[in-house]
Amino acid sequence: MMHFRHLRTMLCAAALAAFAAPAHAQLTIDMTRPSFEPVPIAIVDFAGDSMGAQIAEVVRNDLQNCGLFRSISPGSFIERNVNANAAPRFADWRSIGAQGLVVGQIAQVGGNIKVDFRLWDVVVGQQATGLSFTSQPSNWRRLGHIIADAVYKRVTGEEGYFDTRVAYVSETGPLTTRTKRIAIMDQDGANNRFITDGRTLAVTPRFSPTLQEIVYMAYADNNSPPKVYLQNVDSGRRELLGNFPGMSFAPRFSPDGTKVAMSLSKDGNTDLYEMDLRGQNLRRLTSTAAIDTSPCYSPDGTQIVFNSDRGGTQQLYVMGAGGGAERRVSFGDGRYATPVWSPRGDYIAFTKIMGGSFGIGVMRPDGSGERMLASGFLVEGPTWAPNGRVLMYFQQQPNSGGRAGSVTLHQIDITGRFGRQVPTPTDASDPAWSPLIPQ
Q: Delineate the domains of the chain, giving CATH numbers in brackets.
A: 4-156 (3.40.50.10070), 165-433 (2.120.10.30)
**pLDDT at residue number 175:** 78
Beta bridge partners of 121: 100, 126
Contacts 24+ apart (CB under 8 A), 200-206: 202/169, 203/169, 203/250, 203/430, 204/169, 204/249, 204/250, 204/430, 205/167, 205/168, 205/169, 205/250, 205/430, 205/432, 206/250, 206/251, 206/252, 206/253, 206/432
- C-alpha 13/C-alpha 148 separation (Å) is 19
359 within 8 A of 374, measured Cβ to Cβ: yes
**pLDDT at residue number 26:** 72
169 within 8 A of 429, measured Cβ to Cβ: yes
**pLDDT at residue number 30:** 76
- C-alpha 359/C-alpha 374 separation (Å) is 5
> What's the predicted TM-score (pTM) here?
0.90
Write the CB contacts of 392 (distance below 8 Å, at least 6 apart in sequence).
166, 382, 383, 385, 409, 410, 411, 422, 431, 433
DSSP 202: E
- C-alpha 36/C-alpha 32 separation (Å) is 9
**pLDDT at residue number 355:** 84
The one-letter code for the residue type at 306 is F
- The per-residue pLDDT string of the chain (439 residues; one tens digit each, 9 = 90 and over) reads 333 333 434 333 333 333 444 444 578 887 777 677 899 999 999 998 889 999 999 999 999 999 999 999 999 999 988 998 899 999 999 999 999 999 999 999 999 999 999 999 999 999 999 999 899 999 999 999 999 999 999 999 999 999 999 999 999 998 778 899 999 999 999 999 999 998 889 999 999 998 889 999 998 776 778 899 999 998 999 999 888 888 888 899 999 999 999 999 987 889 999 999 876 788 999 998 899 999 999 999 999 999 999 989 999 999 999 998 899 999 989 999 999 999 999 999 999 999 888 999 999 999 999 999 999 888 999 999 999 999 999 999 877 665 667 899 999 999 998 999 999 999 999 999 999 988 7
Rg (CA), the chain: 23
Neighbour order of strands in the sheet with 427-433: 193-194, 179-186, 165-172, 427-433
What burial letters (b/e) apply to 175-184, b meaning 16+ CB within 10 Å? eeeebbbbbb
388 within 8 A of 130, measured Cβ to Cβ: no
Residue 203: other Cβ atoms inside 10 A: 20
- C-alpha 210/C-alpha 230 separation (Å) is 14
**pLDDT at residue number 27:** 86
**pLDDT at residue number 263:** 94
Q: Could you give the 3-state DSSP secondary structure of residue 79?
A: coil
360 within 8 A of 374, measured Cβ to Cβ: yes
